[in-house]
Structure 1
C-alpha cells in the first residue's frame, strides 16, 4: 500500500484484489466460530490487524454524525455542502446521448438545481452556442455563482473540455496542477472565502483504468485465461497503476503546502486499498469512511462495488453527512455530496 507502482507495479494488482482475502477471512471466522474451533483465533487476529482495510471497504458511519448533524441544523456560517461528480462531458458524444438529448438535459438540470455550496465536476463540458450544452450559462451564470474552469481541449464547435470548480462563495485564488502535460487527467484548486475563513478546494481526475467493460466480458466468455485480450487488459491496468502513482504524488506535494484547510474531491480511478488512496489518506480523512454507510460504490456500470470517486478533507474540518446518490444514473459515475464544518 505504501509502495508506489512505479517501483513495484505488481503491488497494484495485489491491492486491487484485496477485497477477496478480506471476505474469505470473514467467512473463515464465521465458519470456525460456528463449529467452536480454536482456529477461530486466526481470522480474529487477522481482523484486528487489518481492521483499517475493512473500514476502507465497508463504512459503518461511526466517524461522522450524519443522523444528528445534517445540513438543516448546522449553523449557516460554518457549514459547507460539497458536490463531487464526474459528469462524463454531459454525454455529448453520439454513442452516449439519446436522440432528444434528454439524458444530457436532465443531467445539466440536476447539477444546476443542486443546492450544494460548491461543485467539483470532472469531465466537464461547455459549448457556449449550444442550446443543450451551454452548461456555464445554465449552471453558473443563471445563478450568479463564482467559477473556475480548466480547459484542456476546445473542439471545432468551440466546445470546451476540462474540469470545473463552481462556488457560491468568492474565489480568492485559483490554479491548475499539471500531470506532465495538461490533459483531462490533472488537478485544480480554488481558495474560497467563507465568512471569516478560507478553505482550499481541490478537484482532480487521475489516469483512467483504460479498460472497457466489453473487453472484460469478452475475456470471460471466451474463457481464455492467457489470451491476447486478457494480456491487453493487464497491460492497461499496469500502465494505469504506474501513472496514477506519479500523479497522486504531484497532487499530494501541492496540497500538503496549502496554508488553508483543504477539501479534495475527484475521480481517483482506483480502489480504497491502493497506493493512490493511501497517499491522500496519509494526511487527510476520507468523507465516506467518516460519515458514509456501506460499501459506497460510485461506479455506475456492470463492474460491481467499485468505489473510485472520493472526497477527502483535512483534520481542521469535520464532516457530518456523506451520500452517494445512486438514484442519479445520468453518467457512468454517481454523484457524491458531503456536509463540512470548520472546527472552532
Structure 2
C-alpha cells in the first residue's frame, strides 16, 4: 500500500482484492480451530500482524458510549459536527431525477435542514435562477451561513458545478487545490474560526473509476472473460489508480503544511487498503476507524461493501461519534457525519 500506482499500477488491483485473503484467513481460523489443529497458530499470527487491515475493514465501537462522550465535554471544549456528502449534482440530469423532481427537492431539503456545523459537499450544483436547484439560497443564505464554492464549470443555464464548504463559523481563509488542471476532481480548504481556535477543513474529490456497474456485471456474464469488455474495464481501473495516486500526493503535500489542525473530508473513490487511503492515514486518523461501527460502506449501489467516502482528522483532535446515514438514499453515496472535540 506504500507503492503508488504510477510506479507499479498492478498494486491497485492487489489492494482492491485485499478483503478476500482476510476473509479466507478467518475461514482457516475457524476450520482449524474446530479441528483443534496446531495449524490454527498460522491464521492467529496473520491476524496479529495484519490487525490494522482488519480494523480498516470492520470496526467495533458502541454508539451509545460515543453519544455519552459527546455530552461530557470538558470546560473549554466545543463539539463540531461535520457532514460530508457527495450530492451527485443534486440529480439535476434528466436520467437522475423523477418527473416531479421530488428526489432533488428532498435531497436539497435534507442537506439544508441538517444540524451539522460544517458541510463538505462534493459534486455540488447551484443554479441561481432555478426554483429547484438554487441550492445556495436554500442551504446557505436562508440559514445565514458562511460558504466557499469552488466552481469548475458553468453551463448555459448559469448552473455552477464544483464543490462547497458551508459553515456556521466564520471563514478566515480559503483556497482551491488543482490536480494538474481544475476539474470536478480537485480539493479545496477553508480555515474556520471556532471560538478562540482555528481549524482547517479540506474537501476533496479524487478521480473516479469512470465505469458503470453494468460494465462490471456484463464482464462477469461474458463467456469470454478475456474479451474487449474486460480489457476496457481493466484499462479504466488502471487509469483511475494512477491518477488518484498523483492527486492524493498533491493533497497530502498541501495539508501537511497546514498551520492548524485539519479535518479532511471527501470522495476518495478508493478502498481502505489502497495507496490513496494509506497516504492520508499516514499523517491523519480516520473517523470511521476511530468511532464508527461495522464495515461503514458508503456507496449506494449494487456493488456491495464499498467504503469510498471518508473523513480524516489530525491526531490533536478527537472524534466522539461517526455515522454513515444509510437511510438517506437520494444520491449514489451515503452522507457521513462525525463529531469532533475542539479544545480552546
Q: Same fold (TM over 0.5)?
A: yes
Contact 2:77 2:343 survives alignment (8 Å)? no
C-alpha separation between the residues in 2 aligned to 1:62 and 1:244?
A: 33
C-alpha separation between the residues in 2 aligned to 1:98 and 1:245?
A: 37
Query: Which residue does 1:163 correspond to in 2?
Result: 163
Q: What are the residue-to-residue correspondences of 1:227-266 with 2, within 5 Å?
A: 227-266=227-266
* Matched positions, count: 343
C-alpha separation between the residues in 2 aligned to 1:272 and 1:342?
A: 26
Deviations 1:229-254 (A, max 9, x none): 11111000000000000000000000
C-alpha separation between the residues in 2 aligned to 1:183 and 1:46?
A: 42
Deviation, structure 1 residue 68: 2.1
Query: Which residue does 1:298 correspond to in 2?
Result: 298
Deviations 1:124-178 (A, max 9, x none): 0000000000000000000000000000000000000000000000000000000
Paired residue secondary structure (2:182)? strand
Deviation, structure 1 residue 217: 1.2
For normalisation by structure 1, the TM-score amounts to 0.97
Query: Which residue does 2:142 correspond to in 1?
Result: 142
Alpha carbon RMSD of aligned pairs, Å? 1.4
| Ranges in structure 1 where 5+ consecutive residues have no aligned partner | none
Query: Which residue does 2:192 correspond to in 1?
Result: 192
Q: Does 1:5 align with 2:13?
A: no
Q: Which moved more, 1:61-70 or 1:216-225?
A: 61-70
C-alpha separation between the residues in 2 aligned to 1:229 and 1:98?
A: 31
Contact 2:197 2:343 survives alignment (8 Å)? no
Q: Does 1:117 align with 2:131?
A: no
Query: Which residue does 1:52 correspond to in 2?
Result: 52
For normalisation by structure 2, the TM-score amounts to 0.97
Query: Which residue does 2:284 correspond to in 1?
Result: 284
Query: Which residue does 1:336 correspond to in 2?
Result: 336
Deviation, structure 1 residue 222: 1.9
Deviation, structure 1 residue 61: 2.2
Contact 2:108 2:139 survives alignment (8 Å)? yes
Q: What are the residue-to-residue correspondences of 1:166-177 with 2, within 5 Å?
A: 166-177=166-177
Contact 1:147 1:164 survives alignment (8 Å)? yes
Deviations 1:46-77 (A, max 9, x none): 1111000000000112899514223x554795
- Structure 1 outlier segments of 4+, above 3 Å: 62-65, 72-77
C-alpha separation between the residues in 1 aligned to 2:223 and 2:127?
A: 44
Contact 1:80 1:339 survives alignment (8 Å)? yes
